[in-house]
Each structure stands twice: as structure tokens, then as C-alpha cells.
Amino acid sequence: MDGMVTTVLETTEDLALATLDAEEMDGPSEATDLVDAVNQVNSEKIKVASVTVTLSEDVVDLKENRADVCSAGMEASSMDLAAAVVLEDRSLEVTDVVAIAIGMEQAPPLIQLPCPFMMGSIFRLLSAELLPAKSIADQAFDGVIVVGHCLKELKAQSALSGLYNTLEGYFQLNAGARDSTSLIPIDKSIVPSGRLIYSGTGPVHRDFDDVRSYKAAAQAGVRLALSAGLKAPILATVPHKRFPQAELVSVLGSLHPLYVPLNVRDDGVPRRMEKLGLLAVQQDQKTFVHLAEAFEASFTVCRDVGDSDPIRMAPPRVGEYIEDVFKGGNVKVSVISNPEEIQKDYPMMAAVNRCANHVKSHQARLIKLEYDSGDGVDETVMMVGKGVTIDTGGTDIKTGGHMFGMSRDKYGSAIVGGFFKALDVLKPKKFKAIGYMCMVRNSIGSDAYTCDEVIKCRSGKRIHIYNTDAEGRLTMLDPLTHMREMAVNERNAHLMTIATLTGHEVLTHGFHGACLDNGPAVREKYGYKLQATGDEYGQPVEVDRLKAEDFKFHLAESPSADLRQGNTIPSTQTLRGHHTPAAFLQMASRIDEHGLDSDKPLKYSHLDIGSAMGDMPDVTFPNPLVALVAHHVIPRS
């Protein structure tokens, strides 16, 4: 593994194989914790010949008084040296430990312990430990869940053919089970636990069928597994030629019912399922599991930010969470918290948060994330996410129950955080990304911003406020302008805004996000390429086009302003109500000055995700996170 060194420590003591309980190891660890972990008793003691500790390169430089201990491959005679390796006088973060392996005196194989510390402690972000399953007969698991569309196709797969006779017999008794979810007894010589769950996708051959049927079937299968008391099932999917990502889509769906909300985890509530075995039928097993881990970690970050209530994830606490979850990883995080700095450099964002700023725990945060592979970058993605932790509507207050669910108005920022977690884990090559999570609270009070105000934004444009409930575009505007200023010096830059922006988008596209490109992005057919990727991975994205009238709509009516923010009625009552904000953001940030006719054209895409992630209070399914990661990250990983 690149950037890692290994120290081998010899011992003649009787030691037990460590179970390395994830909960105990998920936090700062003193030196002796590793020794204690190795000494945890399972059921029988093992004579250990060697212990191999792998640490990340940045913590292995222990040359102060311990140069002899820290040399790669150095042999020592006592477990005391293990404590020396992890520094007796200093705490060791779990992200510093990559692996521990134990070699036994009377058994040639080296036992590699499960490593919850790996990749920035990714283990704590998984809703269940994801492990490769050897076969449907793997005794490490307590059941098998099969997602399928056709019994004949199942029989054709050698990894699953052993299930055929049992399923054929059951379907003769219950024909409806082909397209539903059933718990079926099975001979223990085939599945050691005797428990098989079959979850049918229903029809997948019609013009309008898509791979999301596998996601829904996997969700149903896991819900039944939980109801039946399974704690560690295997998941396998019958492949389909029309849907090459069906196996992965099933895994992503299966993990959805397992998510435990952040505030519940804060109280120590355990996982709903201990582990999930992944049996790749037509995929490379190692790559398959790694990709599933990356997606699930990114989903957890996204949900933790997006689903959490407005106090648990108030702007300062989002900043703390993001700093913690990326600590020691491949993403650099910096947080701007000084109200004066935000007022000076991001005046529109400051205006939205002006009322909330009087409550310290509600003060705005601008969170910057940076990933740089450092190997000849040929693409730079620059994302700005809307992060309104609760949208009251401001002085144009939401009434009639329409404020309910507005804690999820921060989901654009949640997508940005999730995207960067995928970068952190998958480490794509020749790729750079910069993200802004614009965290504010649109509160009501004596210092709230109001309609009729004219505010000069970072670009110098004067913006006439018409409706304080159109705060999302204002929150993102100045960070987007800052991105535009940086983009002219970046390699192949692509600017994006991601936001739960309008009800009009929801009425137009339902639970699918919309992509609106500027000229340079249209020239590269970005929206249609993202749409094709989304279709393949089960996350459809709709493509909309901008017209001249969208830009004309935002020209100021008052001589005191250059642009008007919007109008005085909801987007749902406005013609082209989710198109015009994309035009406003271009004009107010001056991205429109970098069109196809410019010496320095810049690609820009506006993603209005509406309610694509799902309705409150259900657990969300991060959207369009899968499409973005699959399009930008997976091909480079």
C-alpha cells in the first residue's frame, strides 16, 4: 500500500486473537489500546509468533528517541515495543492505523484482523460492516438474500444455481412470490442457516422499466431480513444484461433501511445489522466491496448532514462534523466562521444569516473542501452547495405547515460533503475538486433581511430583494463568485451549484433532479452525459435548457439595482420557475461573461435537486450523489 510502512514485532507471549471491537477503537487511542486489543480474549488463546502493525506514513516518523523501533521491518523482542510504536507519550488517532496482523506459531497463515481504522476510519460510517462472502454456503453469515428477476437466469449463474430447486418448488406453491419478497426455508446443506429470502424485482423488460427495480427489491429484502431477526445475511443479485450495474444498485438499496440517524447514534444505539456479506456474481469481488464501502460512507456523510435536525446540524456543528469526518484523510477542510469575514467577502450569505447571527450556535459557516490527486490534473470540479439548516421563509414566512421539512434545505451542501467523502475513499487520479458548503439559517427576527433591500454582492452587482424565501440562490451566490474567480486559473474547470431550490422543479420532475447547463457545458453535452450515467446507476437526472427569457426575467426593474432576485410569488406559480434561478446565478456571479463568446469560457451546471432525495420524515436516498460519483469519480479510481 502506497505511503505505508510496516513494523514487525516478535513476541513469545501467549496472546489471544483480538476481536478489535469497532466501537472501542473508534476514537483517539492511547498506545496501550493496541496492546489491549491484541490481548482481548475470544474463546481460546493462540501462540503468537509475530504482530504486524501498519501505520500511515505521517505518524511513523517517530525518530525522537525511537529511531531503532520505527525502522520498517525492525524486529524486537517484546510487546512493550508495540506501545513504543504507537507512542506511549502521545495519543494515536484511529486514522493513523491502517492494519494489524497476527502470525501464529503453529499455523502458517497470517491472520489479518478486520481493520475499522482504515481510510479515515471509514468503518464508523458504514451502516453495516461490508464483507466479501465466499459463497451462499459461507458459514460466517446467518442467511441469504437474493434479488432476482428470473429463475432461469438465476440457474445460469453457478454462484446461485444451488438455490434453484428450492425456489422452483416454492414458486409452484406460491406463484406471487416471483415478484414479491418471501422468507423461504432451505436445506442447511445449501445455506447453513436454513434461511433464504427471495426478493423479486417484478417486470424489467418493458420500455419504461429501469434498474431502480433492483434497488426497491433489495430494500424490501433487507427489511424482511430485519423483521426475521437476521444480523448478518449475504446479499446476491441475479445479473441482467440490460442493467450492468444491477448488482451495485441492489447493494446501495439494501443499505438504505440500515441507516441509523446521527442523533440516535450519538446516544450509543447500535447498528440495526452487524454485517452484510456481498457475493459478487459477475463483478470483481474486491473492487465491488470497496466501491460499496465508498458509496455507503459518502451516503452516511450526506445523510448525517442532510437528514439531521436544525439544532444537531446547526451551521457550527456541521463545521465540526465535517472537520472530524475528514480528519487524517485525503481531503483538506477549512472553515470560515468569523462573521466579519463572511460579511466582507460573502455579503449575500451574510444577509441571509443576519438574524441568526445573534445566536452564537446559529452563526454561519462556510466550509471549504479540497481534493487534489496531484498527478497531472486534467479535470477540476468546483461545487457550491446550498446549506440552509432551517428555512422559515424569513420575513416572507412560510405558513400553513409549509415550514415542515425545511431542515432538509441543506441537502445541496450534504451532497457536496458526500461527494468529497467518495473522493476521500476512492482517490481518483488526475482529478481536482473544490467544494463550498454554505451553511446558514434563514431565521425570523428584528435583524432579519427583508424584501426591498438592495445589497451589493461580491461581484459588484446590486441585487434587489423581492422575496426572503428565495434565500438559497443568495446563500450560494458569493461563494460561487469566488469559485468563478479561481476557475479561470484551474485546469478544465467545471462550476456547479447544487440546491434544493424550487418547488417548481418538484412539480416538473417529481423525485428526480434537474441539470441546467450554460453554453460551454452544453457544448460538451454534460447534462446528457450525466443523465446517461444516472440511468445506468439507478439515479435518473432530467436535463432542462435555459432560454433568453430566463435571463431577461432577472433584469432589475428599479434603477437602484442591476438585478432582481426573483419575484413576489412562489416558484410553483412562476413560468419557468426552476429555470430562472440558474440564469440569475450566472448573471450575478458574472459567469455569464465566460460563455462561448469569451476568451475564457467556463462550464457551469446548476443542479436543482428539489425533493429528489425523498420526503420528510423518511430517511433520504442521496440524490444525485450516485450519478455524480459514478460520472466523475469511478472512471478515474
Q: Are strands 432-442 and 380-391 parallel, antiparallel or unpaired?
A: parallel
Q: Are strands 432-442 and 365-372 parallel, antiparallel or unpaired?
A: antiparallel
DSSP annotation of 366 reads E
- The whole-number pLDDT of residue 279 equals 98
- The answer to whether residue 589 scores a pLDDT higher than 90 is yes
Catalytic residue among 398, 429, 462, 529: 398
- The answer to whether residue 131 scores a pLDDT higher than 90 is yes
Q: How confident is the model at residue 230 (pLDDT cuts 50, 70, 90)?
A: very high
- The answer to whether residue 509 scores a pLDDT higher than 80 is yes
3-state secondary structure of 613: coil
Catalytic residue among 473, 564, 576, 603: 473
pLDDT tens-place string over residues 10-69 = 333 333 333 333 333 333 333 334 434 444 323 333 344 454 555 555 444 432 322 233
Q: CA 354 from chain center: how many Å?
A: 30
End-to-end CA distance of the chain: 15
pLDDT tens-place string over residues 279-335 = 999 999 999 999 999 999 999 999 999 999 999 999 999 999 999 999 989 999 999
DSSP 186-252: --TTTSTT-EEEEEE-----STT--THHHHHHHHHHHHHHHHHT-SS-EEEE--BTTBTTHHHHHHH
pLDDT tens-place string over residues 366-418 = 999 999 999 899 999 999 999 999 999 999 999 999 999 999 999 999 999 99
Task: Give me the chain's average pLDDT, please.
Answer: 86
- The whole-number pLDDT of residue 32 equals 38
Instruction: Compute the distance between CA of residue 17 and CA of residue 36 in angstroms, rounded to an integer.
Output: 11
- The answer to whether residue 137 scores a pLDDT higher than 60 is yes
Q: Are strands 365-372 and 332-336 parallel, antiparallel or unpaired?
A: antiparallel
> Which cell numbers hold the place of 530?
450525466
366 forms beta bridges with 336, 438
pLDDT tens-place string over residues 240-278 = 999 999 999 999 999 999 999 999 999 999 999 999 999
> Which cell numbers hold the place of 456?
451589493
- The whole-number pLDDT of residue 123 equals 83
Of 302, 301, 287, 330, give the one whose Cα is nearest residue 423.
330
Q: Is 142 left (phi over 0), alpha (psi -120 to 50) or beta?
A: alpha
Pick the CATH number of 317-636 from 3.20.20.150, 3.40.630.10, 3.40.50.300, 3.20.20.70: 3.40.630.10
- The answer to whether residue 436 scores a pLDDT higher than 50 is yes
- The answer to whether residue 185 scores a pLDDT higher than 60 is yes
Q: Is 101 left (phi over 0), alpha (psi -120 to 50) or beta?
A: beta
3-state secondary structure of 123: helix
- The answer to whether residue 592 scores a pLDDT higher than 70 is yes
Q: Is 273 left (phi over 0), alpha (psi -120 to 50) or beta?
A: beta
- The whole-number pLDDT of residue 100 equals 46
398 catalytically annotated: yes
Give the Å distances, CA to CA, from 473 to 87, 349, 366, 370.
Answer: 49, 9, 15, 22
- The whole-number pLDDT of residue 559 equals 98
pLDDT tens-place string over residues 320-346 = 999 999 998 999 999 999 999 999 999
Greater pLDDT, 11 or 99: 99
- The whole-number pLDDT of residue 278 equals 98
Greater pLDDT, 489 or 2: 489
Q: By the 8 A CB rule, do 461 and 348 touch?
A: no
Residue limits of CATH 3.40.630.10 in the chain: 317-636
Among the listed ranges 117-121, 160-164, 296-300, 334-338, which one has the minimum average pLDDT value?
117-121
Q: By the 8 A CB rule, do 51 and 38 touch?
A: yes
pLDDT tens-place string over residues 521-549 = 999 999 999 999 999 999 999 999 999 99
pLDDT tens-place string over residues 68-83 = 333 333 333 223 333 3
> Which cell numbers hold the place of 285?
469481488
- The whole-number pLDDT of residue 122 equals 82
CA dihedral 37, 40, 46, 52 (to 10 degrees): 0
Greater pLDDT, 236 or 1: 236
265 catalytically annotated: no
Q: Are strands 541-544 and 454-456 parallel, antiparallel or unpaired?
A: unpaired
Among the listed ranges 76-80, 581-585, 611-615, which one has the minimum average pLDDT value?
76-80
- The whole-number pLDDT of residue 158 equals 97
Count of CA atoms in the C-beta half-sphere (13 A) of 1: 12
Residue type, 407: S
Share of the chain above pLDDT 90, in %: 80
- The answer to whether residue 119 scores a pLDDT higher than 50 is no
Q: H/E element holding 612?
A: none
Q: Which CATH superfamily is domain 144-283 in?
A: Leucine Aminopeptidase, subunit E, domain 1 (3.40.220.10)
Give the Å distances, CA to CA, from 284 to 40, 107, 278, 442.
Answer: 34, 29, 11, 47
- The whole-number pLDDT of residue 328 equals 86
What are phi and psi for residue 272, nearest 5 degrees? Answer: -75, -25
Residue limits of CATH 3.40.220.10 in the chain: 144-283
pTM, two decimals, is: 0.84
Instruction: Compute the distance between CA of residue 479 and CA of residue 187 in angstroms, rounded to an integer.
Output: 60
- The whole-number pLDDT of residue 118 equals 37
